[in-house]
Amino acid sequence: MRYYLIAGEASGDLHASHLMLALRKQDPQAEFRFFGGDLMTVVGGQRVRHYRELAYMGFIPVLLHLPTILRNMKMCKQDISQWKPDAVILIDYPGFNLKIAQYVKAHRICPVYYYISPKIWAWKEYRIKNIKRDVDELFSILPFEVDFFECKHHYPIHYVGNPTVQEVREFLEKDTQRCSHLNKPVIALLAGSRQQEIKDNLPAMLSATAHLTDQYNLVLAGAPSVDASYYEPFLEGSAVQLVSNQTYQLLSQATAALVTSGTATLETCMFSVPQVVCYKTPLPLITGFLKRRLLKVPYVSLVNLIARREVVPELVADSFSVDNIRRELESLLPGGSQRERMLSDYEEVHRLLGESHAADEAASIMVNQLKYQKTL
């Protein structure tokens, strides 16, 4: 069967590549065509666009690149119509993907499967109307989403477990490669997967850790979608080392980490690395005020959302500062007051997520449904 996948960022590329491998196990004749990244390309099929051409965030960057975004969306719709897949599989990235779902459903091209459901429980809950109308099957990777979609909105979904659990477990079982030239304990800096996130967060991370260079190797995880040259102005004159496309290797060696919000917070937890979540926003006082009143969930990190309590500190908007980052990080270093407590709390998150095989579960459901529909 023919599968058209759309992933709009680095984490989506990772999760989609595992799903493609799982689909191929279930369907050895599977053909893939996709908007995605390097990891999906390694699996095989035809890449139409790299997610670097899609990954814009924030009002101003989206506005500035709107013509490119609209051209890509038009091209994607036309490409799906011409290729005539048996299924369109959307991976997160709701701003783009829900528009594609609407088009595919309106033109009755094929079933629409959404793997890694949009986080509408945090923001833009009104999108549930579009999901109910345009998505045939929704696959959730967060346990608390079942209550949100099924109990609150009466929309049945498939909870398949969290793919990060499986991805980290497989890495730890198979990969023995370590980042080179690290002769001291490591503090990992994960400053985001997009240029705007890096620009906002990295300078404060560097300032907050500058006093630790004698005791620790400070290592920055380069994002797959960002060229190494982009980091050079930030790192000039600092002792921070940059490693690209080695985030898991870095986390497997890290003593502690500074992490922007996103999938990276859960990855850091799965490697049992104590972390501080840092996320700078424009107009922090106003943003902090709006966050407390408009955001429908009390936390921004996946770790805290899964635990339903504060396991990791979140320095967001008006709480984001160099002094706060430094203080929280020092409490998580060996001998720090919060380190053992956080490591113990991580065990609860690991237990809640269980031994997941998300990609295999989702692929099995997708292939079986498609085979059944072909018999009708």
Single-letter code of the amino acid located at 339:
R
Least confident stretch, 160-169, 172-181, 330-339: 172-181
Residue 203: the pLDDT is 96
Residue 61: the pLDDT is 54
Assess whether pLDDT exceeds 50 at residue 193. yes
Instruction: Evaluate the CA torsion angle 170, 174, 180, 186 in order and state its sign.
Output: positive
Least confident stretch, 99-108, 311-320, 343-352: 311-320
What is the three-class DSSP state of 170?
Answer: helix
The domain 179-353 having CATH identifier 3.30.465.10: the answer here is no
Residue 180: the pLDDT is 60
pLDDT tens digit sequence for 221-276: 998 878 999 999 999 989 999 999 899 999 999 999 999 978 899 999 999 999 99
Q: What is the mean pLDDT of the chain?
A: 90
Residue 214: the pLDDT is 93
Q: Which whole number is the average pLDDT over 314-323?
A: 91
Least confident stretch, 101-115, 174-188, 198-212, 265-279: 174-188
The domain 2-161+357-375 having CATH identifier 3.40.50.2000: the answer here is yes
Residue 15: the pLDDT is 94
Distance CA 194, CA 222 (A): 10
Describe the strand order of the beta sheet including 137-140 as a list of residue ranges.
46-50, 31-36, 2-7, 87-91, 112-115, 137-140, 158-159
Residue 296: the pLDDT is 56
Q: How many CB atoms lie within 10 A of CB 104?
A: 24
Secondary structure (DSSP) of 45-68:
SEEEEEGGGT---SHHHHHHTHHH
Q: Quick one: which of 31, 43, 36, 35 has its CA closest to 13?
A: 36
pLDDT tens digit sequence for 111-134: 999 999 999 998 889 999 999 999
Residue 375: the pLDDT is 79
Residue 295: the pLDDT is 55
Residue 46: the pLDDT is 97
Residue 60: the pLDDT is 46
Residues of the chain with CATH 3.40.50.2000: 2-161+357-375, 179-353
Distance CA 150, CA 304 (A): 22
Q: Quick one: which of 366, 277, 376, 371 has its CA closest to 319?
A: 277
Dihedral pair phi/psi, residue 213, rounded to 5°? -65, -25
pLDDT tens digit sequence for 269-309: 999 999 999 998 764 444 444 444 445 578 889 999 999 99
Residue 75: the pLDDT is 94
Residue 56: the pLDDT is 52
Residues shown for the chain: 376
**What is the pLDDT confidence band of residue 70, given thresholds at 50, 70 and 90?**
confident
Q: Which whole number is the average pLDDT over 12-36?
A: 96
Residue 107: the pLDDT is 97
- What pTM value is reported for the model? 0.86
